Each structure stands twice: as structure tokens, then as C-alpha cells.
Amino acid sequence: MIPSSFDYVAPSSLDEAIAVLGEHAGDAKVLSGGQSLIPMLKLRLAAPTVLVDINRIPGLDYIEERDGALHIGALTREHALEASTVVRAKYPILLDTARVIADPIVRNSATVCGNVAHGDPGNDHPATMIALGASFVARGPNGTRSIPAREFFQGLFTTALSEDEIVTEIVIPAPPPRSGGAYFKLERKVGDYATAAVAVQLTLGAGNDCARVGIGLTNVGSTPIAATQAESFLVNKPLDDRTIAQAAQLAADAADPFEDRRGTADYKRDVIRVLTARAIRLAAQRAQGTAPTAGRA
Amino acid sequence: MSTHKITVTVNGQQHSAEVESRLLLVHFIRENLRLTGTHIGCDTTHCGACTVLLDERPVKSCTLFAVQANGRAVRTVEGLEQNGQLHPVQAGFKEEHGLQCGYCTPGMMMTATALLEGNTNPSELEIREAISGNLCRCTGYVNIVKAIQHAAKEMRGAAAVPSQAANEADATVHA
């Protein structure tokens, strides 16, 4: 399959890239990993007249912890998350998430920032970023602004980004001690989008009560969903079976799935219920240090 | 529409061409360079038949524009054999009957090559994970895994094959 014709530019600076986006407002697309965009171009689901390839811009490929936050640059590939020592040690939810995105070959090219900026509710990082309380740094002609993940996703493939803005960085607040997270995804096969998936990041307080928690849902609505009622229900409660079951039901109630080849709406809501309970349990075990931060059977 | 002068090093040899922006790397490889060992399977980023190494990392060449490879190095299945000698991965696929129809084989071998050049002693689980983006509809993967293990053994010289205990540990993780 061959995409429609387009012009291609590979600027060497962000300012230059933003200027090109501005000149062709609405008709230009940013090319980073390309693992979602290029298939869409080939299927002619998208036909921008200009592609702005940011891969030649130096200084955008990093994962670093500074000023109390983890910073992930625009050109950081998914495989780099998997290989990162700091991610493995302190952000197990990010490792869980990266490992179930597409397949290892795609992850050599695909970028973390692209996964969120694309605005596809089937993508995996958005729910995780919601759970982690992350924000996205958007740079445009008038400088940079920070957009919380919870305000970023506005509709199917629609985000808070302006046509002349680029996501340059994801910023994730470093979790306090006794924090843990987990991402559970049900997929039909390797490389598939989620039938449904759940991200949970929590911090334990005194007596193992839940001090704070973020819960994000993947592919059960036209945007990734923050399960806010389940979150508020859990705060200051002990994470016993009954509480977890009630929170899981509240998360399922927050889902608004469509029926498709992956299942009926009722089925997907129930998958959310089951995965939410599993994710809360594993997140709590990781917070207590009783489950490994990397990998699970 | 724009065209671009690109220079790509393919299997150690520099190739320059004027290409349309929308030309996919796999079409550049197959049609411009006539290196037809790289196959097009699904053409939608799923099957991995078109896998090549871009700066030594496996990528699906149907999901990358040729212009993106400008100034970079590509290895295709034609680059595996050196001086008439099969690459250990090719020899492994031959010895262990790691193919039937052969369609997925070039992509499978490029992924295996990248895996083994980074780690000559992968566990069975690591092998299976590495090739999870390469689909084979004939073999059930059993002989492909054996072929890669055969190649791994050859690449690490006389060292022992992974122990039975390690293989059992893999099986547990799988279950």
C-alpha cells in the first residue's frame, strides 16, 4: 500500500519544526516513531500534505530523573523504557506498559511521547500517564506549556495540542516511598490493541491504607478514562478484598466501551472490573516490596 | 510532492537514489536495489516478513520511509552470508528445518541475528519474546526456536547449550 503524496521535511531544531507546522496548519503531521502514523497513511486514513520528521533533532532522546520527576524526551523509544534501570527500579507500571505495546520490533521505533500525542484511546501509555499523574510539555511558537494527562485527551484522536505544538517531554512526578503500580492488559494476541486494560498507581499510608491512587482505563471509550470515583473511594481505606472489589466495580462503571470484534460492551466492562482488582493487588504488593518490580508470571 | 536524494548503506555498500517522500524502505530495497530477499507480508506492521536491521536494530521496513534511512546503515538477509559462508543463523535454520514455506524466514532470521549479536545465550523465553513480532503460519515456531538455539550455540563457540533447568524455568514462566 502506498500513501498519498506528501512533502517531507526533516528539520534540525524544534523551532524549525514548529515553524513548518505553523505554515501548514492542519495539513502537517509530526513523524516520530511512525508506527501508528505510517500505517494510517498507507491505509489512507490520513493524508497530510507535509510530514515533519523530528527524528533528526538532537537532544530529545532521554529518560532521566531530576527535580523530583522522571523526564522522558520526545524521541525516547519504547525499547529504551524497557532497558532503563531507573524505570525498572522505580516505575514498574511503565515497564509493564511498554512490554505489552505492539511487539519488540515495533518498540524499537515507536516513541513514548508519540504513543500519547497520537490520541488513540487504544494506545497503552495514556492510561498509565493518567494513573501516574503525569503531564506533557507542549512546545509551540509562543513557548512551552504543561498539560496534565487528565486534561490532554479530548476525544477520538483529539488532544489538547494545537496544530503547531509538539509534545517535547513527558514529566512524571517521582512516586513517594511505599508506592507501586501495575498495568494489566487483555489482548487477543501479541501486537493487538487492548480488549481492555487498566493502569493503577498507588501509595500506601499508615497501616497499609491507600493514601493516594490513580486509575486509568485503556480502550473502553473514545478517550482514555480516569476512574475518578474508584480513586476517591479507595483513599484512606484498607486494601482488603471487599474494598478492592467495590473499587473494581466503580472502575467498571466508569468504562464506556463500544462493542467490536474484541467483545461486547458488557464483556469489556467486566474485564475492566477483573483487571482493576488484579492491578490494585499487584500495585499494593509492589508498594510493600513483596512483589518484584519487573516481570510477572 | 517532494523527492529527495538519499544515500543508504545497504549490506556495507553505499547506494544513492532520488526517491519520492512516500517511497517505503521495503520498496526501495526490493525495487530500487532488487534485493528481493526482504518480503512484504501483511503490509500493515503486523507480520514482520519485511524486517531488516536499521543501524543494527530490527525494524519493519514497510513502516518506514526510505528517506528516513538517509545516511544510515541497513542490513538485509542478503547481507548475512559472508564469503560463501552461511551466517550461523542461516546454518541453524537449515540444520533444524526452521522453515517450511519460507515466507517469514528472511524477517525471522534478521530478528534472530540482532538478538544473538546482542546475546549469544538467550533463554527460550527470550527467543520467543524476540520473535513475537514475526509471524510464521507453517511451523508452529518450534523448529524456529531450535534453529536460533542452534545458531546461538555456534556463535558462542564450544560453550554449553542452556541447561535443562533453565529451560524448565522458562516453561514455568510461560504457564
* Candidates A39, A53, A190; nearest CB to B68: A53
Residues B41 and B115 in one domain: no
CB contact under 8 A, B48 and A108: no
Angle between helices A241-254 and A265-288 (to 10 degrees): 140
Q: Is residue A146 part of a domain?
A: yes
Q: State the residue range of the domain holding B92.
A: 88-170
CB contact under 8 A, B59 and A55: no
CB A251 within 8 A of CB A258: no
Residues A163 and A206 in one domain: no
Residues B130 and B113 in one domain: yes
CB contact under 8 A, A38 and B130: no
Q: B172 falls in which pLDDT band (50, 70, 90)?
A: very low
Residues A47 and A70 in one domain: no
Q: What is the pLDDT of residues B112-158, one digit of tens each?
A: 999 999 999 999 999 999 999 999 999 999 999 999 999 999 999 84
Number of domains in chain B: 2
Which residues have CB under 8 Å from A51's CB, separation 6+?
A6, A7, A8, A9, A28, A29, A30, A31, B21
Residues B106 and B69 in one domain: no
CB contact under 8 A, B48 and A105: yes
Residues B100 and B142 in one domain: yes
Give the bridge partners for A170, in sequence order. A72, A136
Give me the percent of chain B exceeding a pLDDT of 90: 88
Q: How far apart are alpha carbons A54 and A166 in whole angstroms?
A: 10
End residue of a domain, out of A140, A173, A206: A173
Number of domains in chain A: 3
CATH of the domain at A259: 3.30.390.50
CATH of the domain at A164: 3.30.465.10
Q: Is residue A2 part of a domain?
A: no
Residues B113 and B75 in one domain: no
Residues A70-93 as b/e (b if ≥16 CB within 10 A, e otherwise) read bbbbbbbbbbbbbebeebbebbbb
User: Tens digit of pLDDT per residue, chain A (297 long)?
Assistant: 899 999 999 999 999 999 999 999 889 999 999 999 999 999 999 999 999 999 999 999 999 999 999 999 999 999 999 999 999 999 999 999 999 999 999 999 999 999 999 999 999 999 999 999 999 999 999 999 999 999 999 999 999 999 999 999 999 999 999 999 999 999 999 889 999 999 999 999 988 899 999 999 999 999 999 999 999 999 999 999 999 999 999 999 999 999 999 999 999 999 999 999 999 999 999 999 988 876 553
Report which secondary-structure segment, H or E, holds B125.
Answer: helix B124-130
Q: What is the residue whose three cell numbers read 524497557?
A: A82
Q: Is residue A292 part of a domain?
A: no
Residue B175, pLDDT score = 36
Residue A260 DSSP label: B
Q: State the residue range of the domain holding A83.
A: 63-173
Residues A248 and A146 in one domain: no
Kindly provide the ipTM of the predicted complex, given to two decimals: 0.94
Q: How far apart are alpha carbons A50 and B167 in whole angstroms?
A: 50
Residues B97 and B54 in one domain: no
CB A119 within 8 A of CB A156: yes
Strand A50-53 with A143-148, pairing: unpaired
Query: How many residue pairs from chains A and B have C-beta atoms closer than 8 A?
Result: 85
Q: How far is CA B85 from CA A138, B90, B106, B109, B153, in A?
A: 52, 10, 17, 15, 17
Q: Is residue B175 part of a domain?
A: no
CATH of the domain at A49: 3.30.43.10
Task: Give the phi and the psi of residue B25 in degrees, each rounded to 5.
Answer: -60, -40
Q: What is the residue whose three cell numbers read 517511497?
A: B23
Q: How far is CA B153 from CA A257, A279, B160, in A?
A: 49, 39, 7
| Closest chain A CA to residue B63 | A38
CATH of the domain at B94: 1.10.150.120
Q: Is residue B28 part of a domain?
A: yes
Task: Give the phi and the psi of residue B32 in degrees, each rounded to 5.
Answer: -75, -45
Give me A103's grid cell: 511487539
Q: What is the residue whose three cell numbers read 564469503?
A: B83
Q: Chain B partners of A55 at a C-beta cutoff of 8 Å?
A: 68
* Gap from A9 CA to chain B (nearest CA, Å): 9
Q: Chain B partners of A191 at a C-beta cutoff of 8 Å?
A: 46, 132-133
CATH of the domain at B59: 3.10.20.30
Q: Is residue A136 part of a domain?
A: yes
Q: Is residue A291 part of a domain?
A: no
CB contact under 8 A, B22 and A34: no
CB contact under 8 A, B2 and A7: yes
Taking Cα atoms as reference points, which of A103, A164, A43, A188 lies closest to residue B44? A43
Residues B129 and B154 in one domain: yes
Q: Chain A partners of B173 at a C-beta cutoff of 8 Å?
A: 297
Give me A262's grid cell: 474484541
Residues of B within an 8 Å Cβ radius of A? 1-2, 4, 20-22, 24, 43-46, 48, 51, 57-60, 62-65, 67-68, 111, 129-130, 132-134, 172-173, 175
End residue of a domain, out of B79, B99, B128: B79
Residues B135 and B74 in one domain: no
End residue of a domain, out of A156, A173, A190: A173
The 3-state DSSP class for residue A196 equals: strand
